[in-house]
Every structure is written in C-alpha cells, then in structure tokens.
Amino acid sequence: ETGVTQSPTHLIKTRGQQVTLRCSSQSGHNTVSWYQQALGQGPQFIFQYYREEENGRGNFPPRFSGLQFPNYSSELNVNALELDDSALYLCASSPVRGLGTFFGQGTRLTVV
C-alpha cells in the first residue's frame, strides 16, 4: 500500500471523447508526476506538478493537460482521444521533486 490511489482503475472511451483521470497523492507529498505506459513499453513522462503549477512536461501534445489541487490530489485530462492513447496511466507522488517516488496502481484506458 503506497498511499497513492488512482481512479478509475479501468476505462473505455470512444475516439474523439475526453477523459479525466484522478490521483490522490501520498500524504505530505507536494509533487505529482503522470506517466503513460503503452503495452509492452516502459512508462513515458507526461508532466509534473509541484505546488499546483506544472513544472515540467514530456513530449506530449497540448490535449494532455493536468491540474493539481491544494490538497495535492491531481487530475490528468486528455481531449480528442485517439486510438494510440490506449495505455496504462500512472500517477507518482513524491515529497520533494522526484525523490522517494511512490506509484499508484494505474488507470487502464482503452480507446475504441
């Protein structure tokens, strides 16, 4: 039990729709990162939030956006879903910008 919880665990969406994934961070962790893991591949960094501000972004288009709330929970929003967005989305929280990272169980998104 890492204290990082993600919801939902599984989700099926249609191409073109929008989706919101949620993450509740480990208590006391003010940094949250989101990763996309396609089937058979390692996770890829989407972006990181620190104290409610985005402070780093990987090679993902603007239709991937996020929010971090005052209680340090977080959302990942994806607009105009594409088939290639089908993946496991992982949330990871840490107390200080990437040290001691704890992962959630992930949300499996399938776009049909």
Binding site for other proteins (CB under 8 A): 2, 33, 35, 37, 41-45, 47-48, 50, 55-58, 88, 90, 92, 97-106, 108
Instruction: Please state the closest distance from residue 38 (CB atom) to other proteins, in A.
Output: 12
Name the nearest CA neighbour of 21 among 81, 71, 90. Answer: 90
- Nearest residue (CB) to other proteins, 7 versus 80: 7
Let me know the angle formed at the C-alpha of 103 by 24 and 105, rounded to the nearest 5 degrees: 80
Q: Are 91 and 46 in contact (CB under 8 A)?
A: no
Instruction: Please state the closest distance from residue 98 (CB atom) to other proteins, in A.
Output: 3
